[in-house]
Every structure is written in C-alpha cells, then in structure tokens.
Amino acid sequence: MDHPLLCNNLKCRTELTERALVTTCSHNFCLPCARLFGFVEANGAIRPGTGRHLACPACRADLLGQDDAVITHLNPSDDWKTSILSGLSPSTIMECAGRALSFWAYQATQEMHFQRHLYETMVEKYSTLAAELERRTNEANSTISSLQSKLQTTISEYQILQQKMDELTRVHKDKCQKLLQTQEAHDREKRKVELGQLRQAASAAVDSELQNTGRISQQIADGALQDRGSRKVQNHPAGLTAGHGYESIASMNSSLPRATQRGHGGWDKQSLMQPRGSKYYQCLRLTTLILNSTR
C-alpha cells in the first residue's frame, strides 16, 4: 500500500492527492503553500525565467534552475503514464525510476523521522504531565487526608460543644424555673407587705376616728352632767317639760347612729351580730357607755 505524500510545510501538513510542487531537493508542497512561497503565480503556472533566487522552504536549498521546481500530477492518467517515458533509453528510464524511488524513500524517511520526533515529544510531554499529575495527586491526597483529619477534629469538637450546649440549656431551664419561683415568692411577699400596710393604715384611720368619737362623746357626757346638776339645784318641776336635760339628750341622740335612736341604749340585730374584737363593736360599746352615763 502506497504511503500518501504530505506537504513538507510543517505548518500545513496537507495530504497531496492531485497536483503538487516537486523540487530537486526531494521536497513537495501543496499549491497554496507554493503560491505563498512564490513558486507559483496566481494563475497556477510556474514562474517563468531562469536565475530565480528562490530557496526551498524545507531545507533552504537554492532552486535556481528552470526545472528545479515543477508541478506534477500525482494521479496521472494511463495515457500520461504511457507517453511520459516513451522514447527514452532504458538507462534513462531506470535513472528516472531510481531518482523517483529515492524521492519516495526520502519522503518516507522524513515522515518516519517526523513521526519519531513527534512520538518523542509526546512521550516527553506525557512524562512531564504524568509527573505533574503524580505530584498533584500526592498533593490532593495529602490535602484530603489533612481535611479528613480536620473534619474528624471538627466533628469531635462539635459533639463536645453540643453536649456543653445541652448542659447549658438544662442549667438555663433550671435557672429560669428557679427565677420564676423566686419571682412568685417575691410577688406573694410583696402582696403580704402591701396588705399589711393597708391594714395598718385602716387601723390607724379607725383609731383616729375612735379618738375623735371619744372626745366628742366625752364632751357630750360633760354637757349632760352639767345639765343634770343644774336641774338638781333648781329643783323646779317646769324643768321636766321645758328643761334642758332631756331635750339636750334627745338632741344629742339625733346626732348618733340610727341604731341609737330606737330606744334608750337599744341596738338593732345587725349591729349586735358584729364580732366582739372588731373596731365597730368597740365603737358601739363606747357609745353605749356614753349614753348610759348621760341618763
């Protein structure tokens, strides 16, 4: 199987199938590259004239002759194959065939060298990349190991902190419960103190009222005694009708509570049902004594 020819421009490397520029230094180029390097005119023909100062783009050899660079058909017809060497002597035909085989062998050798160089370059790059990959892999493994150890440490610390948080939460609940109980006890004591103060204020108010009532009753009793003494001195019967004693007592009774106006020292049922130790009972008793002393 024939090996395909490739353009010897390393930047091109196009496979040659129909036509190509062939040089006497055993290199071939595609027509676009030949036109780029100045071997072919815009219409595709070889630049005419001799003494061209052109060099091979592959080996930099001078191509000064008219036939140093020609365009050849790589897939010729049968007629071209019949007529191209017709009329030449066998030695010339063998020489042409030998040079053509040398050209082909040179191209094959160059391709082999290129592929070997490409292979070596790829192996070198692969080795470099493999070493870099190994280094990155080792770094990644060490980083993963470090991160795993840090993760385990973090998990352990998290569990410890979780236990501490649970303990603090329990202590906080206990403290809150104790604080609530203390607050309730404080509120109860505060209500007791306020009730005691209210009782003391009420007791003081009742004592003050009783003192005022006692002074008023004493004044009434003193006035009644003076009236009785004046009646005894005068010893006049008219004093009983127009006297000052009974009328004064009646007028005094009119200023006492309604319970005292029902008779001489009589009390209603509601007043007598008051407890004996209450201030109200003491007030009623004092009033009764005052009334009895004025009779």
Question: The CATH number of the domain where 35 resides is what?
Answer: 3.30.40
pLDDT the model gives residue 149: 93
CB 287 within 8 A of CB 217: yes
Percent of the chain with pLDDT over 70: 71
Q: What mean pLDDT comes out for the span 127-144? A: 94
**273 belongs to a structural domain:** yes
**Identity of the amino acid at 159:** Q
The pLDDT value recorded for residue 278 is 57
pLDDT of 216 higher than 90: no
The mean-pLDDT minimum among 103-107, 148-152, 282-286 falls in 282-286
- For residues 18 and 75, the answer to whether their CB atoms sit within 8 Å is yes
Residue 186 has pLDDT above 50, yes or no: yes
Q: From CA 246, how far away is CA 238, in angstroms rounded? A: 12
Which band of pLDDT confidence, cut at 50, 70 and 90, is reported for residue 133? very high
Q: How many domains does the chain have?
A: 2
In the 8-state DSSP scheme, what is residue 76?
-
Q: Does residue 132 surpass a pLDDT of 70?
A: yes
Q: What is the span of the domain harbouring residue 60?
A: 1-84
Does residue 68 contact residue 21 with C-beta atoms inside 8 Å?
A: no
Q: Distance between CA atoms of 220 and 291, rounded to whole angstroms?
A: 9
Residue 284 has pLDDT above 70, yes or no: no
Q: Within a domain: residue 23?
A: yes
182 belongs to a structural domain: no
For residue 252, pLDDT over 60 is answered with no
Domain assignment present for 181: no
- Whether 55 is in a domain gets the answer yes
Does the pLDDT value for residue 148 go beyond 90? yes
Domain end: 84, 107, 139, which one? 84
Q: How far apart are CA 216 and CA 1, in angstroms?
A: 153
What pLDDT is stored for residue 263 in this prediction? 44
Residue 158 lies in a domain: no
Examine the fold and report which residue of 50, 67, 84 is the final residue of a domain before the chain moves on. 84
pLDDT band for position 255 (50/70/90)? very low
Mapped onto helix, strand or coil, the DSSP state of residue 46 is: strand
Q: What is the DSSP-derived secondary structure letter of residue 8?
A: S
The answer to whether residue 247 scores a pLDDT higher than 90 is no
Report the pLDDT value the prediction gives residue 38, as an integer from 0 to 100: 82
The count of other CB atoms within 10 Å of the CB of residue 176 is 10
Comparison of pLDDT for 53 and 13, the residue scoring more? 13
Do 72 and 39 touch, CB atoms closer than 8 A?
Answer: no
- Residues 241-248 have a mean pLDDT of 41
- pLDDT bin (cut points 50, 70, 90) of residue 272 is very low
| CA gap 156, 165 in Å, rounded | 14
Please give the Cα distance from 39 to 28 (Å, whole number).
12
Choosing from 31, 59, 84, the residue where a domain stops is 84
Query: How distant is the alpha carbon of residue 187 from its chain centre?
Result: 43
One-letter identity of residue 110: Q
For all residues of the chain together, what is the average pLDDT? 78
> Within a domain: residue 105?
no
Contact 31, 46 (CB under 8 A): no
**pLDDT score recorded for residue 260:** 42
- pTM higher than 0.95: no
- Give domain status of residue 130, yes or no: no
